[in-house]
Structure formats: C-alpha cells, structure tokens
A and B are shown apart, each in its own frame.
Chain A
C-alpha cells in the first residue's frame, strides 16, 4: 500500500457524508482523473504510475487538510469533494504564506553560529516556497532539511504541514539558543568538535547540556561554562544514583532550567525533555566510568580557538 492509499481512509468519515454510500475510492477516482487531466493539460491520456501516485497523495492530503479544518463543525460546509478540494487548496495557500512569514522570522532570529547544515537548511526553504505546487504536489516536503532538530516533526506530516512544524521547532530552538551567550556557545561548539562548522549536530545540544548540568548544581544557567571543579561536583552529586533517581534529578533540573530561562510557563520543555531523554543513557555510562568530561564540556581558552565570525 502506498502512502496515498494509507492516507485515503482517514478521509472516510467526511467522504461518506459528502457522497452517501459510494465507496471512497470510487469517489476519489473522478477527482484524480480530473487532476491528472489538468496536470497533463489534456495532452496525454496516461501518466506513469509514480506520477499518478503523487497526484493521488497530493489530492488526499489536500482533502484531509480541508476536512480537518471543517472537522470542528458538525456539518461540513462543502457539498462535495471537488468543492472540498478547492477549499483545501485555498487553505494550503494560506498555510504556505504563513509558513513563509515564519521562515522569515526564523531567519531573523537565526543563531550566529557557523554550521553548514543549519545555514543550508535555512536557505533551502527559499527554493521550496518558490517551487511549492499547491495544485498537484501539495504533499511534497523539502528534500534537503538536513539540520537535526531536538524535536523532529512527525514523518507522517506532509507538505506545508511538515514545513510549518519544522519551522516552528526551529524558531523555538532559535529563541532558546538566544538565551545563552552566542560567543560562549560558539566556543563550546569549536571546543567540542574540530571543524564544528561542518558537524552534524544540533546547535542547542551542547549549551543546553551544560546549562542542564549547572541546573543540577542550582547555579546560574545562563553561563554555559562547566569548570573541572563543577564537573567533579556533578560527578559526586550523580554518582550512586540508579536510573529512576537519575531520571528524577534530570527532570527536576529540566524544570529548574525551563523556569530559569523564561517567565513563560513550560518554556522549551519539549526540547529540554528530548535532550534529557537522550542524555540519560550516556550519563549512566559516563558515571560508571567516572568521567563526565565528554558530556559536560569545558571550552578551550579563547586564544586557541579560531576567530569567531
């Protein structure tokens, strides 16, 4: 079964209301034929199966967006699927414009940290918005979003819905990163990974891990430096804790960090929780080895590092 055919049943409740007892696929088929005719501009009676599948996925995605939008009302406003498709396309156009505004906001708040994955991903949205085809390939996502987010959007999201979620996450990470000193974050990145510019790494990960370490020690979390002495204190504090106790310590530190970073309730909680979930098994192993120097990093002195751009 293709992604499109998997998507189609989610339209079932709406389709049965719109078209009575006619099976879902029988209702969608004429719509797909009409879409294909528009796509080929009437010049070709047939298309490759791959093209038909893509057109079908786009069709289902557009209808789903419109059906979900109408979902709040007991009676959908549209009378048939063709009208629903048009409504869906208009909705997607609005979503695309909204996502484009969000992208501009993300660019404006972008971290001043040199990383090719981060910068290329930001740039790739420009081409995506130019090429986004709401009529025939609304389900397509940018193919070059390389930057790893702390909370990756669900792979089940398609088209502009995925893009919106990705940009929302990126924007939240930007805001999170801006709480910390950018030069200190850059030093940390350079110290941790040689040639960090080309390193496949989330830019929040290192500052946030150190901030979490400082939160465990109840220190100022805006300073992301961890000294050798602080690392020793952390080792002492965490040593001997079983998994449940470590989980609790990290959860408490996450809550402390979130509250310290912003007055906003639960600021960056999903991102911090995602980070702590990944940190736990590493921390257990590092504690067993008695060395936390690869988890809570210390920046190298500034004179050793390359100049910050």
Chain B
C-alpha cells in the first residue's frame, strides 16, 4: 500500500501526548483487571503512527486508543494476556473501517459498531472482526446476534 503523510507531521510531539492519554486510561481499565505497562504504552503509541501511515490518515491530539480502551475493557472476552496485541489490532481495524466508511461514521459510532460485533458474533475474536467487511459490520451490528439461532451459527463455519 502506498504510504501517504504530511512531511511536517510532528510525530514525536504527538507520541508523548498519546502516551499521557493512555496512561490515564489505565485507571478505567484497572477496574476490569487490565493494565498496560510503560513499554506497552510506548509500543501502542508507536503502532498508532504505523497504522495511520498504512491507512493514509492523519490524527490530531491523543488518538483513538483511549476510546477503544473505554469501549472494550468491559468485554468478557478481553484478558490481560494479549491485551496490548488486541488494542493494536483493534486500532488497525478502526482506521481501516474509518477509511472504508469514507469518514461517514463518527469515531464513537464506529467504535460502538465494532464493540457490538466483537462481543456478539465475533465472540471476542479480533481476527473475525478484522476480516469483516464494513457492510457486514454494519449489518451484524444492526441485526444483533442470537447464539441460539442455528441458521446464524452455520454462517460462521
């Protein structure tokens, strides 16, 4: 994929701001037994810039990670083990869906759709979520998911 960016993008200055916001998120996620260490915070903040470059987007301020933490930390499928990788994958998926939707969804709307599908049909599988198209994501979030519905179960396999 062609990488696009503004040549004067102050990445280093924004890295600090992003880490600061993520540190504050630990307070929320700790209630659910989830915490990011300092190296993990740095790694995630760095991943954010890579994701932005890969999707050809520019972000101002702290980024979308705090919102993702807030939306996903209460999920029964999220454990401390693999928490950092999950957030990195969700972040990648978020920017991908944002581009796919041509920015027609606000950040909050898109995160809400992702969380809905992650907690229902995807059963906590970020791999399933990232393999879902935007159309499917919208449809699944709109229609809901019933684990007892045999027909729907068959669609998964």
A contact set with B: CB distance below 8 Å:
1-2, 5, 25-26, 29, 32-33, 36-37, 40, 43-53, 56
Contacts and interface: CB of A to CB of B under 8 A. Distances in A.
B136 interface: no
A49 B54 CA distance: 11
Of listed A43, A44, A51, residue having the most chain B CB within 10 A: A44
Interface of B: 4-8, 10, 52, 56-64, 67, 95, 98-99, 103, 106-108
A52 B106 contact: no
Contacts of A37: 60
Contacts of B95: 46
Of listed A1, A37, A43, residue having the most chain B CB within 10 A: A43
Contacts of B63: 45-46
A33 B60 CA distance: 6
A45 B106 CA distance: 9
Contact of A49 (B6, B64, B67, B108): B6
Nearest to B52: A46
A50 B103 CA distance: 13
Contacts of B61: 33, 45
Contacts of A46: 52, 57-60, 63-64, 95, 98
Given A26-B10, A29-B10, A45 B4 contact: no
A49 B60 contact: no
Given A43-B106, A43-B107, A43-B108, A48 B10 contact: no
Contact of A52 (B6, B107, B108): B6
27 contacts: A1-B7, A2-B6, A5-B7, A25-B10, A29-B10, A33-B61, A36-B60, A43-B106, A43-B107, A44-B107, A45-B62, A46-B52, A46-B57, A46-B63, A47-B57, A47-B58, A48-B56, A48-B58, A48-B99, A48-B103, A49-B4, A49-B56, A49-B57, A50-B4, A51-B103, A52-B58, A53-B6
Contacts of A1: 7
Contact of B59 (A2, A5, A43, A45): A45
A116 to B, nearest CB: 34
B5 A44 contact: no
Is the contact region of chain A dominated by helix, strand, or loop, or is it mixed?
helix
B64 A45 contact: yes
B8 A5 contact: yes
Nearest to A46: B59
A48 B67 CA distance: 19
Nearest to B106: A43
Given A46-B57, A46-B58, 18 more contacts: A25-B8, A25-B10, A29-B10, A36-B60, A44-B107, A45-B60, A45-B61, A45-B62, A45-B67, A45-B107, A46-B64, A46-B95, A47-B103, A48-B56, A48-B103, A49-B6, A52-B6, A56-B6
Nearest to B51: A46
Given A33-B60, A33-B61, A44 B103 contact: yes
A190 to B, nearest CB: 48
A49 B106 contact: no
A56 B58 CA distance: 12
Nearest to B95: A46
A56 B62 CA distance: 20
Nearest 4 pairs between A and B by C-beta? A43-B106, A33-B60, A46-B59, A25-B8
A304 B103 CA distance: 59
Contacts of B8: 5, 25, 29
A45 B98 CA distance: 11
Given A43-B106, A43-B107, A43-B108, A48 B57 contact: yes
Contacts of B62: 45
B113 to A, nearest CB: 14
A262 B99 CA distance: 59
Contacts of B4: 49-50
Given A33-B60, A33-B61, A49-B58, A44 B106 contact: yes
